[in-house]
Structure 1
Amino acid sequence: MDRALLTRLTLDFTDAFNRDDLDGVMSYFAEDGIYDEFNGIRNVGKAANRQAFEPQFRGEFGQIRFHQEDLFVDAESGKSMISWTLTMAGDGRKGGWRGLDLLHFRDGKLVQKHTYAKTQKPLVQKLA
């Protein structure tokens, strides 16, 4: 994949979140795309991914915006990492956190989205 194309896909995908455009976000995912949430929940397939994002796009967490910090792209592997500060406001909520997304693209479609967030307490999971 071309470096400029991978950069554009990553930035445009992130911008779709900031436009509150769920259909736009979903247009990037492959049919069998994976979304690993920051809380350890794994969603597989467009329907499951859409369902995972719906509360955010309904405004259940207030207005959420992602402010880019860094972007790294590996065009050869089709992978990018975008770090961000998330801000949220509304319904008496105001705050945010820092995090990042590891994105894996294949043939111009997002096949994996792994989200990580800085927290005060790590998510401890049983490993295989």
Structure 2
Amino acid sequence: MITVLLVLHFFVAAALIGVVLLQRSEGGGLGIGSSQGMGNFMSGRGTANLLTRATGVLAAVFMALALALGLMNQGTGRQRSLFDAPPAAVPGGPSGATPAAPGSTPAAPAAPALPPAPAVPTN
């Protein structure tokens, strides 16, 4: 069910992007929203009204799908965020190192060893 809603959400998002790009802005936009290429089908004002309504409907469907997906994913026990995942092993790190258990505090790294102090001659 979640997969179907995700695919539908993708198509609604793509349609919303397309409808917004078709609208005529102050600077002319893409210029597709005018009635020049549409023959006598719709006037410029009718096209603008249609695109405005389509944008509103698609935005409402987009928000409803986003809320539905969020609510459906809430109690699944799945990973909720990329930041919740334990860190992956670092390449070239110490062999046999295991990641810390979730909820435990990581140990502080050991302080680097300082080089020996230079010998000072005494006369």
TM over 0.5: no
Q: Which has the larger strand fraction?
A: 1
TM-score interval for Structure 1 and Structure 2 normalised by the shorter chain: under 0.3
Q: TM-score, normalised by structure 1?
A: 0.22
Q: TM-score, normalised by structure 2?
A: 0.23
